[in-house]
Amino acid sequence: MTDDQALRGRRNALKCMAYGGAGTLFVLAGGVFTPIDLAVAADSKGPAAIGKPLFVQISDTHIGFAKDANPDVNGTLNRAIDLVNGMTDQPALVIHTGDITHLSKPEEFDLAQQYLSRLRTTELHTTPGEHDTADATVSEYFKRFGSASHNRGYYSFDHAGVHFISLTNVLNFKAGSLASLGDEQLAWVTEDLNARSSSTPIVVFAHMPLWTIYEPWGWGTGDAGQLMDQLRRFGSVTVLNGHIHQIVQKVEGNVTFHTARSTAYPQPVAGTAPGPGPLKVPADQLPAMLGVTSVSQLQHPRSLALSDATL
């Protein structure tokens, strides 16, 4: 096989991994995830019959972006918030997986906070994206969202028997390499997980993918393997990321990896453009490429199911 053929094969494989459209609901039964089209799931008894909505993931709101790919990121974020507020069975948590703002400007953070405060859910959890830490002093994000992690950027919490871990992989960049968690954070997460039983459902979230999706564009975390070694013993692990503005999923043993759509603008499929910049699509196609992810908790077995909704 020539290098060119290998590259094409890889691109096609990556394309097949990307889910689009109305959304997919993932149900875990006997250790195997079964994808169910969201429309089909809704047709039967609805997602509520499958499990209790646990939390909603929103990502890459990029407040401050105003270019052709979406001149109205404020409007699309607010539509996402309306979608969450309109859910009949309200989830308790919202998790924002980073790139809250586009340029880390104080006024962008202020506007984003104003919109996010409209959420009816009781708790908002966040992790920074590299667009949130691009200010010269790396301080604007932490001024507003740093208290949960004591300004370290990583923390954990429990909700409804599920253990959540918020990690940061945008502060420790080395030239020319993938994102990294760093030794200090890895030592902390090891200790945090050591205190949990293997039957505790685990949700881990960070901004950049915690598995390598496409190295030439930096879509991965170099030292994530050390984290995965710690997670392998758990019966139900859900790993959530943003950053790539499209849904890509992978299941590895009991670990389900899921990247979310952006509420702001889509990005090209890996390797199909010179770089991972904003993807311009006709205005009528844009809402189908933006969205939110909700996660339900299943009682029997005790595990988590994912579903995606477009705007």
Partner 1 sequence: MRRRATRLLGHLGLATVCLLSVTASADSPSGVRVLIRDFMFSPMEVRTAVGSPVTWVNQDDEPHTVVSDTGLFRSGALDTGMAYTFTFDKPGTYHVICTIHPQMTATVIVE
* Euclidean distance between CA atoms 259 and 235, whole angstroms: 20
- Candidate ranges 17-25, 130-138, 233-241, 284-292; the one touching partner 1 (CB under 8 A): 130-138
Q: 3-class SS at 212? A: coil
Distance of closest approach, residue 167 Cβ to partner 1, in angstroms: 17
Q: Does 266 bind partner 1 (CB under 8 A)?
A: no
- Candidate ranges 7-15, 169-177, 185-193, 284-292; the one touching partner 1 (CB under 8 A): 169-177
Give me the 30-49 binding string for partner 1, x by CB under 8 A, dash otherwise.
--------------------
CB-nearer residue toward partner 1: 163 or 243 = 243
Q: What's the distance, CA 246 to chain centroid?
A: 10
Give me the 189-218 binding string for partner 1, x by CB under 8 A, dash otherwise.
---------------------------xxx
Q: Does 179 bind partner 1 (CB under 8 A)?
A: yes
Q: Does 281 bind partner 1 (CB under 8 A)?
A: no
Q: Are 264 and 290 in contact (CB under 8 A)?
A: yes
Among 67, 143, 150, 233, binds partner 1 (CB under 8 A): 67
Helix (H) or strand (E) segment spanning residue 11: helix 3-17
Q: Does 131 bind partner 1 (CB under 8 A)?
A: yes
* Euclidean distance between CA atoms 166 and 126, whole angstroms: 7
Length of the chain: 311
Q: Does 175 bind partner 1 (CB under 8 A)?
A: yes
Strand order in the sheet with 123-126: 32-37, 24-29, 303-310, 291-298, 52-58, 93-96, 123-126
* Euclidean distance between CA atoms 60 and 130, whole angstroms: 10
* Euclidean distance between CA atoms 123 and 121, whole angstroms: 6
Among 30, 86, 176, 282, binds partner 1 (CB under 8 A): 176
* Euclidean distance between CA atoms 299 and 199, whole angstroms: 13
Among 133, 156, 221, 259, binds partner 1 (CB under 8 A): 133
Q: 3-class SS at 197? A: coil
CB-nearer residue toward partner 1: 143 or 233 = 143
CA-based max dimension of the chain: 54
Q: Does 262 bind partner 1 (CB under 8 A)?
A: no
Joined tokens for residue 65: 């972006």
Q: Does 277 bind partner 1 (CB under 8 A)?
A: yes
Backbone angles phi, psi at 38, to 5 degrees: -60, -40
Backbone angles phi, psi at 270, to 5 degrees: -45, 130
CB-nearer residue toward partner 1: 235 or 271 = 271
Among 91, 242, 278, 291, binds partner 1 (CB under 8 A): 278
Q: Does 242 bind partner 1 (CB under 8 A)?
A: no
Backbone angles phi, psi at 24, to 5 degrees: -135, 135
Q: Are 285 and 144 in contact (CB under 8 A)?
A: no
* Euclidean distance between CA atoms 160 and 33, whole angstroms: 21
Distance of closest approach, residue 279 Cβ to partner 1, in angstroms: 10
- Candidate ranges 39-47, 120-128, 156-164, 173-181; the one touching partner 1 (CB under 8 A): 173-181
Among 36, 77, 119, 130, binds partner 1 (CB under 8 A): 130
CB-nearer residue toward partner 1: 55 or 145 = 145
- Candidate ranges 8-16, 75-83, 128-136, 155-163; the one touching partner 1 (CB under 8 A): 128-136
Using CB under 8 A as the criterion, which residues of the chain lie in contact with partner 1 when the complex forms?
Answer: 67, 69, 102-105, 130-131, 133-136, 170, 173-179, 216-218, 274-278
